Amino acid sequence: MRFAFLSIALLTTLGCGQPTRAQGLVDGFMRGQRKASLAVTYSQETYETYYVNTTETRNPNLGTVTTQAVNLYGTYGLGYDLDLIISAPYIRTEASAGYWQKQEGFQDLTAALRWEAYDYKLGNARLSWLFALGYSLPIQNYVSDALVTIGHGSRNLDGRTMLHLKAGGFFLTGQFGYIRRGQVTLDRVVNYYDPSQLNPNSGSTVNVPDVTDAVLRGGFATRHFYVDGWIQKQTPYSKGTDIGPGIPFPTNAIGFTRAGATLYLPIVKKFGLTGGYSTTLSGQNIGKATRLSGGIIIGI
């Protein structure tokens, strides 16, 4: 019997003009044919320091950056081995000092298909090999070229593969993905140009560096509780810029290593509560943020 836990993919930002997706959009648990789940989650993350390239920096004119997000996340089993996943976050982010204008609004609509291609039985354990393909685009025209923003405004194609091992209540999932990001049109003409960059700017249209994304997650999934610990490493694949005067924020090369934990407790039948914590271990052109999250999950 498949475990009916709904993965919690919280879409929030880490500031410094670049968004990130916590834990990845998908995990290794299939939903099941004609079964659906809906999650409504809230998260808040803060940072006082950020990385210029990989050097930690504190800006007194920025203060503490706080990002709050409400995310709707749904999964539907199109078949026994095929799921449809949809996510849409509403985000508010602001700085406690300086003249940075608060940003608020819907970020990106994301849809993904998850396919369990192979399922092997290894004694009392099961090993699944899965693939996922997702696409995201901005829901509204928000500001992307700023230190405080809710996203980078690009259209993204996300492809990844996963190995998911489950033995009794224990599970271990490893996944690796590549995120292809499209161009962004800014509200200004960009004069910055570096011939060594693979993403040269042209007029007001700039390229956003692609990234690779690796997530390792392990824990226990039973009828009475779910708990996991995870670590995520996102690395710039294509060359980009560093945070600096006059440089467009969407062209910055973003990377980070984050770690966290998630807890889910079923309350009554198909209704449960979830909570999570994560922190940034290292980064590149991104905020050194800590996040707390919580929400409700409903099985349909």
Distance (Å, rounded) from C-alpha 23 to C-alpha 207?
24
| Confidence bin at 6 (pLDDT 50/70/90) | low
Inside any domain, residue 42: yes
- Count up the domains in the chain and report the number: 1
| Per-residue pLDDT tens digits for 36-87 | 999 999 999 999 999 999 999 998 888 999 999 999 999 999 999 999 999 9
| Per-residue pLDDT tens digits for 115-155 | 999 999 999 999 999 999 999 999 999 998 888 899 889 99
pLDDT for residue 260: 95
Inside any domain, residue 206: yes
pLDDT for residue 16: 60
pLDDT for residue 14: 53
Inside any domain, residue 23: no
Q: What percent of the chain has pLDDT over 90?
A: 67
| Confidence bin at 100 (pLDDT 50/70/90) | confident
**Average of per-residue pLDDT across 152-167:** 94
Inside any domain, residue 152: yes
Distance (Å, rounded) from C-alpha 284 to C-alpha 176?
19
**123: CB partners within 8 A, 6+ apart:** none
Q: What percent of the chain has pLDDT over 70?
A: 88
pLDDT for residue 23: 59
Residue scoring higher pLDDT (139 or 190): 139
Most confident of 153-157, 187-191, 244-248: 153-157
Distance (Å, rounded) from C-alpha 244 to C-alpha 146?
11
Distance (Å, rounded) from C-alpha 238 to C-alpha 20?
16
pLDDT for residue 98: 86
Inside any domain, residue 61: yes
Residue 1 has pLDDT above 90, yes or no: no
pLDDT for residue 7: 56
Residue 24 has pLDDT above 80, yes or no: no
Inside any domain, residue 10: no
| Confidence bin at 12 (pLDDT 50/70/90) | low
Residue ranges making up the domain that contains 103: 35-299
pLDDT for residue 197: 59
**For residue 199, how many C-alpha atoms fall within 13 Å in the half-sphere facing its CB?**
25
State both tokens at 110: 């994301």
pLDDT for residue 67: 94
Inside any domain, residue 17: no
CB burial of residue 30 (10 Å; 0-12, 13-18, 19+)? buried
CATH number of 149's domain: 2.40.160.40
pLDDT for residue 2: 46
Mean pLDDT of the chain: 88
Inside any domain, residue 66: yes
**Average of per-residue pLDDT across 189-207:** 69
